[in-house]
Amino acid sequence: MEEKKAAIIADKKIRDGISITFYDRSLEIVGDRWQVELAGEVKIRVSETFWAAVHESDGDLLDCVRKKIGSRLHFSVSRIRNFVDQEDKQPVLDEMVRRFEENIMHYLDSPNFTQKLFVKNFNEAREKCIAERNQAALPDQPEDEDQGPADFSDLFK
């Protein structure tokens, strides 16, 4: 099989600050058969209104979270159809785009979607920052030198 290459099919602006890009990541499997994959990547500009709703008293933690999230949120969805005939590849891909637009665009256009995605990303980034902070607070452990296999002979007396 070949390495997956992504060709941009369409790039659409849903509403202010939100865009979606469709990628064709299809692979030729064998002969004239394809694995047709449609990937959709949603990019959402993170505005200060998102940050204004955050209640975090630890300024250092908030700075760490801001760095991890950055200026954009990303949301990816993919759909795959296997063993598609070469002649049917483009119609199948077109149908996948059409269905994606029918089914998920309403969800993406919801005003609650962006806020919920931000909260999810914020919580994940916050947990990573806390874990990094806790890891950094641990005393440096000397690396164990390889002493050979452990001696368990006392267990068998």
Q: At residue 11, does pLDDT exceed 90?
A: yes
pLDDT confidence tier of residue 145, bands split at 50, 70 and 90: low
Distance, CA of 9 to CA of 21 (rounded, Å): 8
Q: Which residue ranges make up each domain of the chain?
A: 7-135
In SS3 terms, 27-48 reads as EEEECCEEEEEEEEEEEEECCH
- pLDDT band at residue 156 using 50, 70 and 90 as cut-offs: confident
pLDDT band at 150 (very low <50, low <70, confident <90, very high): confident
**For 156, what's the count of Cα atoms within 13 Å in the CB-facing half-sphere?**
3
- Residue 4: the pLDDT is 60
- pLDDT class of 142 with cuts at 50, 70, 90: low
For residue 118, pLDDT over 50 is answered with yes
Q: Is 82 helix (H, G, I), strand (E, B) or coil?
A: strand
Residue 123 has what pLDDT? 96
pTM for the model stands at 0.74
The DSSP secondary-structure symbol of 13 reads E
CA distance 65 to 81: 37
